[in-house]
Structure 1
Amino acid sequence: MHEPDLTDAWLVIPLYNEESVVGGVISQALAVFPHAVAVDDGSSDGSARAAAQAGADIVSHPINLGQGAALQTGIEYALRQGARWIVTFDADGQHRVADAAAMVGLGQAAGVPVVLGSRFLDDRTKAGFVKRIVLRLAVWFTNATTGLRLTDAHNGLRALRRDAALHIDLQQARMAHASEIISQVAAAKLPYREFPVQVLYTDYSRSKGQSVLNAVNIIVELLFK
Structure 2
Amino acid sequence: MKLIIQIPCLNEAETLAIALAELPREVEGFSTVEWLIIDDGSTDNTAEVARRNGVHHVVRHPVNRGLAEAFMTGIDACLKLGANVIVNTDADNQYNGADIPKLTTPVLAGDADIVIGARPISETEHFSWIKKKLQHLGSWAVRVASRTEVADAPSGFRAISREAAMRLNVFNAYTYTLETIIQAGQSNMRIISVPIRTNADLRPSRLVKSISSYVQRSLATILRVFVIYKPLKFFAFFGAIFTFAGVIAGARFLWYLLEDNGEGHIQSVIFCALCIIAGLLLFMMGVIGDLIATNRKLLERINLRLQHIEHQRD
Superposition TM-score, scaled by structure 2 size: 0.63
Shift in alpha-carbon separation, 1:171–1:209, aligned structure 2, 3 A: closer
> Which residue in the other structure is 1:197 paired with?
196
Structure 1's unaligned 5+ residue stretches are 1-6
For the residues of structure 1 that align with 2:205 and 2:72, how far apart are their CA atoms?
25
> Which residue in the other structure is 1:21 paired with?
15
What amino acid is the match of 1:223? L
Query: Please, which moves more after superposition, 128-137 or 24-33?
Result: 24-33
> Which residue in the other structure is 1:160 paired with?
160
Which has the larger share of helix? Answer: 2
Which secondary structure does the structure 2 equivalent of 1:143 belong to?
helix
For the residues of structure 1 that align with 2:36 and 2:130, how far apart are their CA atoms?
32
For the residues of structure 2 that align with 1:60 and 1:37, how far apart are their CA atoms?
11
> Which residue in the other structure is 2:251 paired with?
none
> Which residue in the other structure is 2:111 paired with?
111
User: Over residues 32-83 of structure 1, what are the superposed CA-to-partner deviations in whole Å (9 max), with x where a residue is unaligned?
Assistant: 4621111001111111110121122110111111111100000000000110
Are 2:54 and 1:60 aligned? no
> Which of 3, 8, 11 lines up with 1:9 in the alignment?
3
Offset at residue 215 of structure 1 (A):
4.8
Shift in alpha-carbon separation, 1:194–1:209, aligned structure 2, 3 A: closer
User: Over residues 162-208 of structure 1, what are the superposed CA-to-partner deviations in whole Å (9 max), with x where a residue is unaligned?
Assistant: 11111111121223x21111012112201122100122242x22xx3
> Which residue in the other structure is 1:49 paired with?
48
Are 2:217 and 1:218 aligned? no
Shift in alpha-carbon separation, 1:102–1:74, aligned structure 2, 3 A: same
Shift in alpha-carbon separation, 1:209–1:172, aligned structure 2, 3 A: closer
What amino acid is the match of 1:68? A
Native 8 Å contact 1:143 1:149 kept in 2: yes
For the residues of structure 2 that align with 1:142 and 1:216, how far apart are their CA atoms?
18
Offset at residue 24 of structure 1 (A):
2.9
Native 8 Å contact 2:147 2:186 kept in 1: no
What amino acid is the match of 2:10? Y
What amino acid is the match of 2:216? V
For the residues of structure 2 that align with 1:110 and 1:214, how far apart are their CA atoms?
39
Which secondary structure does the structure 2 equivalent of 1:19 belong to?
coil
Native 8 Å contact 1:65 1:174 kept in 2: no
Native 8 Å contact 1:124 1:198 kept in 2: no
Are 2:174 and 1:178 aligned? no
Larger radius of gyration: 2
User: Sequence identity, in percent?
Assistant: 26
> Which residue in the other structure is 2:38 paired with?
39
What amino acid is the match of 2:80? R
Query: Please, which moves more after superposition, 45-54 or 32-41?
Result: 32-41
Structure 2's unaligned 5+ residue stretches are 28-32, 222-314
Which secondary structure does the structure 2 equivalent of 1:189 belong to?
coil
Are 2:75 and 1:75 aligned? yes
Which secondary structure does the structure 2 equivalent of 1:20 belong to?
coil
For the residues of structure 1 that align with 2:194 and 2:80, how far apart are their CA atoms?
27
Offset at residue 30 of structure 1 (A):
4.6
